[in-house]
Structure 1
Amino acid sequence: MTDAGGYDAQALHGFAHDSIAKGSKSFALASRLFDRVTRERVWLLYAWCRAADDLTDGQDHGGAMVPGHDAAAAIGRIRALTGRAYAKEVTGDPAFDALGLLLTDVAIPRAIIDDIIAGFELDADDWRPRSEADLLRYCYHVAGAVGVAMALVMGIDPGDETMLDRASDLGISFQLANIARDIAEDAAADRCYLPVEWMVELDIPPGQHMHPAFRPRLSVMAKWLSEMAADYEASARWGARKLGPRSRWAVLAAAGIYGDIAREVRARGDHAWDHRAASSLFAKLGWVARAGWSVLRRPPQRRISRDGLWTRPRHDGAAT
């Protein structure tokens, strides 16, 4: 059975649910806190993001990379199928049809989705940041822009640039935590998202940051990443006050769960990469409870400034 747009909504919602359940236990748990309609829309967006990320890297839900994968061809496929989704064409690929179905209900400017695809393209080009600004630009494209799209799914006015900045901050905080946690895994895959200027400042030779002799200096960079993540998380938490209760609950829970990753990496110091940092189920449920309690209280009134934080690009008049 199909809806007015020609999509099998029931099948696509099921596919999207399975995608987030397999791809991210943390996001899957936090998404349960949304109301049903928002939750299903969030799942549809996640399914597209997950599939596009996997296509870029030649993976299945973040698993092992396929040797000899043609990343450039994958980016071409992502752009082509995404274009068809925006043209309201059924593609036959459930992840891209999930995006098409979402677009029948939510107006996400194509420029925002293109910003996300630009992040996949950076990975496909084996791009590496030279400066801290480069790092933050990358974090925006791979996660901050997703935060903007998520805010639109949650009903934020596309013209509310201030709120969309805060949504971008949440994604950036998540990605900074990911980078701090995954330094060793990225190095094993011949990737590095630590700015070259940081390496020079700490006198770490190119490509040698995982050498045991440089572990104390590497932990300094992890501390910097964790502190940056905390700043962006604080900004996003203040912005969440404008969301509806259920969406605020989900966002604050996710912020706490992911924030714990950065905090754990920082707390471990030189041993941060002995095993992968993760939040326990007990800790995650604790954040769900704390976020729920905060929603019942009066939202914080003291404004958290964005002064000094990186600001996302503007897309005035972007077509949908």
Structure 2
Amino acid sequence: MLAPSRILRTTPARAGGGRDRDDLVDQAEDMIAEGSRSFATASRLFPEAVREQCWLLYAWCRRCDDLADDQELGGALGPEEGADRRIRSIRLLTERAFEGLPTADPAFDAIGLLAREVGITPDMTDDVIQGFELDADGWRPRTEADLARYCYHVAGAVGVMMAIVMGVSKDDSDTLDRACDLGFAFQLANIARDLKEDDAADRCYLPVEWMVEQDIEPGQLLKPHHRQELAELAKRLIDRMDQHLAMARLGAAKLPFRSRWAVLAAARIYGAIGHKVVARGIHAWDSRTTIPGFEKLRHVAAAWWEALRNKPDPVETPPEWNRGDILIDVRMRGPIPDPPMEPLPEEEPSDRYD
């Protein structure tokens, strides 16, 4: 017989959905070790408590990215069909995690646990989820402002949450802005490095106006005759990366030594990726640009001295876009509609297309 409704019990709300904290941390550590060697290296420099919370945050971000793109730990992208449904699942699971209810997914239980421990808010996670929505909609940036907003959603907002994990107050807007700058820098390096992979997935994060300036025809971005223009656009991205990294160093100066060391190590490693893309020029996309282990160790050692000295250089040219301007734009405009893409005039075929 069915039990009378008066004796049914609701699911109790508990941090992490009731999962054992050590189990969640262990699974998160496995995810970051396999999903991002650069972040895994830098995270080892944090104090133990911050390191574990960093892994919990990474696990949620990685799992959301995998669900949105129907992939596994950043592997090959799955079919686009069903993307809207997958985004809805991300939202529902994240909401359930914040309520302290079990989600049947340790990565989402991890963000629920982290929210209880450090005060991550639904608004913070929602900013990140909006980035997944843009990709699911096939959105592409038309202007530099659009590129900045995309970078905020997919990386800058994560940087803000990382700052909260490191103990930065939600009222310390300046330091949170600098954490956002670090996320910007990472994403700009990623975009420059992954132009080939993104093109294969029919994605492009270079502003349309940049490609119009370079006379790059729609669908021709990775063609051999445009490699020089592509290298110039990559340098443009990395120049902006350097501006954001310089600002991020100002914020890192306010962090405790271990956290400062970890942040500066990550900044050096991702900065090295960006500059290696530029140095490879037209060959940057013949193979994936990586930083070998011994170079990462060298950057970690250099970051130790930089963190100990703790005298960041003054910023001569601050980046054009900052967290404050973007947040105003995000709150005022809401989701960005996909702009109409006007095709460029067709050129006569030539042997440059070979």
**TM-score calculated relative to the size of structure 2:** 0.85
The one of 218, 239, 243 aligned to 1:206? 218
Which residues of structure 1 form unaligned runs of 5+? none
Shift of 1:309: 3.2
Q: Does 1:248 align with 2:248?
A: no
In the alignment, which residue of structure 2 is the partner of 1:172?
184
Q: Give 1:161's aligned amino acid.
A: S
The one of 120, 137, 141 aligned to 2:132? 120
In the alignment, which residue of structure 1 is the partner of 2:327?
313
| Percent identical residues | 56
Greater CA drift, 87-96 or 155-164: 87-96
1:1-320 pair list within 5 angstroms: 5=15, 6-67=18-79, 69-300=81-312, 302=314, 306=318, 308-311=320-323, 312-313=326-327
Shift of 1:299: 3.1
Q: Give 2:178's aligned amino acid.
A: R
CA contact (8 A) 2:71 2:77 kept: yes
Q: 1:35 to 1:304 in 2, by over 3 A?
A: farther
Cα offsets for 1:216-238 (capped at 9, x unmatched): 11111011011111111111011
Tell me how large the CA RMSD over aligned residues is.
1.7
How far apart, in 1, do the equivalents of 2:80 and 2:231 lie? Answer: 33
Larger radius of gyration: 2
Q: 1:306 to 1:157 in 2, by over 3 A?
A: farther
**TM-score calculated relative to the size of structure 1:** 0.94
DSSP-derived class of the 1:242 partner: coil
Shift of 1:102: 0.8
How far apart, in 2, do the equivalents of 1:301 and 1:213 lie? Answer: 40
CA contact (8 A) 1:261 1:277 kept: yes
Cα offsets for 1:176-219 (capped at 9, x unmatched): 00000111111111111111001111111111111111111111
DSSP-derived class of the 2:272 partner: helix
How far apart, in 1, do the equivalents of 2:315 and 2:277 lie? Answer: 28
CA contact (8 A) 1:75 1:121 kept: yes
Q: 1:10 to 1:304 in 2, by over 3 A?
A: farther
Matched length:
314
Shift of 1:302: 3.9
DSSP-derived class of the 2:118 partner: coil
Q: 1:302 to 1:224 in 2, by over 3 A?
A: closer
Shift of 1:306: 3.7
DSSP-derived class of the 1:256 partner: helix
Q: 1:48 to 1:214 in 2, by over 3 A?
A: same
How far apart, in 2, do the equivalents of 1:277 and 1:300 lie? Answer: 28
How far apart, in 1, do the equivalents of 2:172 and 2:319 lie? Answer: 18
